[in-house]
Structure 1
Amino acid sequence: MSILSEPAHLVDPHAERIGETSGVRTYLARVEQSIADGRDRPWDKMYGKTGIGIMLSGWCEYRSQTGHVTGVPGTIFFGNQDEHFTGRYLGAPGIRRLAIWYDNDFLEKIADACGIDHPRFSVAALPPGKPAYGIFRDMLALIVGSGDVEYIASSLAETALLFGRESKSSPRISDRDRKRILSAVRHIDSGFFESCSVDALAAITGFSRYHFMRLFKAVTGQSANQYVIATRLRAAAVRIAETKVPVSDIAFDVGFNDISHFNTYFRAAFACSPRQLRNRYRS
């Protein structure tokens, strides 16, 4: 079978599901890696789920209803639910691949937000290169459950759905829609210390959840969650520099519920710890 769904005689019995945190499981049906023996027996199968896979080692010939490619390490493969495909490995032992299978309901919502009638990928594969690297980076983020998981899952799905289609640019924003998004921005700026969930922000604008997520990124350059975190960090940095209030109190006051998460985000944003920032301003 292909990179996305191996037949029983090719799958290592120790193939494993990885990265299934509660957050990832909400958006993805399965995340898995597996190893094949590299024998060149052909296969002819059908996908049971829609998924994205990457070849980590080995080579294969792959043909689906959307195209025909020779897969090499770094090739990204796209498979649609109920799509027939054929192929064979090209004799390389230790074939390794990583695959992400999307939950159908989630994928349908992303397609709808992108103005796509059917949540199906229009290309069979993407060769190694910068776009493929970006997809691999997002796949790894989902596997470990790091960052804004929902945004990464939806952004990855959007990117894959738009490959091979006419519209690959950011969505056009009308003045009216921009004002609606900015109403959510104003809400965050004035109430960042309280809960700012995506659902609540979408409700303010009147957009559906995933349409809101897409437009918010187009307007601000960040996902809604990233914007909330950045706003909280800026507010925290000012208070840390200007006051003697304990750092932990400041972290909770600006909206963080976990001091370790706050410290991690703060270091990533300012390249120093909160205490180091305070000491610099005191000196």
Structure 2
Amino acid sequence: MKPATRILQSGSVSVVDYRCTCGPADRPFTEAHCHHSISYVRKGSFGYRWGKRSFELVAGSVLVGHPGDEYMCTHEHHGGGDECLSFQYTSELIEEIAPKKAWRVGALPPIAQMMVVGEWAQSVADANSDVGLDELGLMLGARLAQVTTGKTPASQKPTSRDRRRAVEAALWIDANAQEDIDLTTVAKVAGLSSYHFLRVFAAVVGVTPHQYLVRARLRNAARLLVESEQPITEVALDVGFNDVSNFVRTFGRAAGASPRAFRHAARGDRNFFQESAPPRT
């Protein structure tokens, strides 16, 4: 049994959460990859048979899929199943992210450079980071290229045109922060590919587009909490958070207190400043 939950459907990158409960008693069968994909194994173990090659994947391993390739997964080990976070890419992105040979490696063992991005991605999926999952997908692809070629991409200084595009994109995000925005959408506004735009925006603004979007929403939320009597649920939805619990958690990380406590501070509650002040050393 392989329950799959799509947790992101973006124009350039889609993310699927796979949770397999198969065991040694389950008979393996042939499957085929439908997309170029990078799947990070976050838990458990399984065998991967691809062509004449065989891999044993454990937590921290990476499975690299190529569309049309047939494969078979085996579950000879007792471990309660396995879980993977799979990033699927559109064909337009492939050559920009990594060379062709990178997509034919089959799988990679637990490699530190890949693992740190994979765990970061899982943290994003759990709503514990404000970077976008589509952004992490591109970062993971860049790491795949680095690991398979042994080359670190040369950093390029943004041109004056890049800087203008990044600033204009930031202004566009500010004006549309309440909408459902993904990396592909903003990249089109800037007239760049998603991969190139992510690198340019981060270099110029200092944060990723999704981080900037979240912070724009937090700015708007803080203002509404201070200036209005709207219920916190309405504030969250009005500024663009579709999940109220995610808003409360994200706002709490930023402000050091809940939205309700922050609003009380605006009403003159001095305890807020005492609670959110950094400890003395």
Q: TM-score range by the shorter chain?
A: 0.5 to 0.7
Partner of 2:33: 48
Partner of 2:134: 150
- Match of residue 109, structure 1, among 89, 92, 95: 92
After TM superposition, give the deviation of residue 227 of structure 1 in Å. Answer: 0.5
After TM superposition, give the deviation of residue 266 of structure 1 in Å. Answer: 1.4
Partner of 1:10: none
Could you say what secondary structure the match of 1:267 adopts?
helix
After TM superposition, give the deviation of residue 36 of structure 1 in Å. Answer: 4.2
TM-score by length of 1: 0.65
- Match of residue 254, structure 2, among 263, 269, 274: 269
Checking the alignment, whether the CA contact within 8 Å between 1:66 and 1:123 is kept in structure 2 is no
| C-alpha separation in 1, matches of 2:168 and 2:11 | 31
Q: Percent identity at matched positions? A: 17
After TM superposition, give the deviation of residue 25 of structure 1 in Å. Answer: 11
Q: How does 1:2-81 map to 2 (within 5 A)?
A: 15-21=1-7, 23=9, 27-28=13-14, 31-38=17-24, 47-49=32-34, 50-51=36-37, 52-54=39-41, 56-58=43-45, 71-81=57-67
| C-alpha separation in 2, matches of 1:279 and 1:210 | 42
After TM superposition, give the deviation of residue 256 of structure 1 in Å. Answer: 2.9
After TM superposition, give the deviation of residue 229 of structure 1 in Å. Answer: 1.9
| C-alpha separation in 1, matches of 2:97 and 2:137 | 14
Aligned residue pairs: how many? 259
| C-alpha separation in 1, matches of 2:180 and 2:58 | 43
- How well do the aligned residues superpose, as a CA RMSD in angstroms? 4.5
After TM superposition, give the deviation of residue 251 of structure 1 in Å. Answer: 3.1
Q: How does 1:203-214 map to 2 (within 5 A)?
A: 203-214=188-199
After TM superposition, give the deviation of residue 125 of structure 1 in Å. Answer: 0.7
Could you list the per-position Cα deviations for residues 107-128 of structure 1 after superposition, in whole angstroms to 9, with x for gaps in the alignment? Answer: 4233244364677254731316
**Can you give the 5+ residue segments of structure 2 that lack an aligned partner in the other structure?**
271-281
Letter in structure 2 aligned against 1:183: E
Partner of 1:138: 121
Q: How does 1:197-236 map to 2 (within 5 A)?
A: 197=181, 198=183, 201-236=186-221
Letter in structure 2 aligned against 1:18: A
| C-alpha separation in 1, matches of 2:90 and 2:108 | 18
After TM superposition, give the deviation of residue 100 of structure 1 in Å. Answer: 4.9
Checking the alignment, whether the CA contact within 8 Å between 2:125 and 2:133 is kept in structure 1 is yes
Partner of 1:126: 109
TM-score by length of 2: 0.65
**Can you give the 5+ residue segments of structure 1 that lack an aligned partner in the other structure?**
1-14
